[in-house]
Amino acid sequence: MQKIVITFLTGLLLAGSALSSCSPANDKTTILLVTGGHGFDHEPFFAMVHSLGNFNIDTLSQPRANRSLLSDSIDRYDAIVFYDMWQDISFEEKEAFLGLTEKGTGLVFLHHSLVSYQDWDELERIRGGKYYERGYDYPPDRLSGYKHDIVMEVTVTDPSHPVTKGIGDFQILDEGYSNIGVMPGVNPLLTTDHPDCSDIIAWEHTYNNSRVVYILPGHDNHAWSDSIYRSILSNAIKWSVGEPGN
């Protein structure tokens, strides 16, 4: 009997040790970063993303990223961060995308991802807004615009929100988008009064069971190297997956 008890306790200790050794990886939020369809300076961008926090990060470029939506492997991701500007998406991929929102996958959209899927109206509702691109069936007064290297004075409109908590008003040099569409019902997080940019430049809302954030700044290293921008993006990811305190 004594030998059986000792063996049993030894097994428990070994199992506990194995769980303990695995726990650091299990504690990390797992992110899929989606790129493609728009050029960017890879090295500083990826360095910025990997500096954000306690995240496991995989990267897929389009169209491979959309094909991954049809695989069970997509279920391993707590959040998807979109830095793509892509137009081609199949019916099956749209359905899989919508399935992510039913599961509650966190969705964070950055900068030019606002231009993606001009012909998929539902994405405007998922994302909370849209950049109306030339070459599509929009009236001239509906078209959006852009201007590089503008200095935006940014106001934090919801300082109590986990994405912006502890962050004061700030200034950023970046590309601005004008005349974008912002869906009614989103919660504005950041605004600017720059004449070459729409006033709301970051927002959050929920779609089905997903928490969604859009952040307009992020064109190049002027934004990526900014500590405030990094904090906002890190907070957005954490909030989208419902990390403790978020």
Distance of CA 207 to the CA centre of its chain: 14
Which CATH fold would you assign to the domain 29-240?
A: Rossmann fold (3.40.50)
Using the predicted structure, report yes or no on whether residue 22 has a pLDDT greater than 50: no
Among 15-24, 98-107, 161-170, 229-238, which is the least confidently predicted range? 15-24
Average of pLDDT values for 228-242?
98
pLDDT digits (tens, 9 = 90+) for 165-221: 999 999 999 999 999 999 999 999 999 999 999 999 999 999 999 999 999 999 999
Using the predicted structure, report yes or no on whether residue 25 has a pLDDT greater than 80: no
Using the predicted structure, report yes or no on whether residue 114 has a pLDDT greater than 50: yes
CB-CB contact of 33 with 6 (8 Å): no
pLDDT at 53: 85
pLDDT digits (tens, 9 = 90+) for 135-155: 999 999 999 999 999 999 999
pLDDT at 61: 98
Residue 12 tokens read as 């428990």
* pTM (2 d.p.): 0.89
Using the predicted structure, report yes or no on whether residue 3 has a pLDDT greater than 80: no
- What CA–CA distance (Å, rounded) separates 179 from 141? 9
Write the DSSP string, the chain: -HHHHHHHHHHHHHHHHHHHHHHHHHTSEEEEEEEESS---HHHHHHHHHTSSSEEEEEEETTHHHHHTTSGGGGG-SEEEEEE------HHHHHHHHHHHHHT-EEEEEGGGGGS-TT-HHHHHHHTEE---TTSS--GGG--EEEEEEEEEEEES-TTSTTTTT---EEEEEEEEES-EE-TT-EEEEEE--TTS-SEEEEEEEETTEEEEEE---SSHHHHT-HHHHHHHHHHHHHHTT-TT-
Residue 246 tokens read as 């978020």
* Domain spans in the chain, listed from the N-terminal domain onward: 29-240
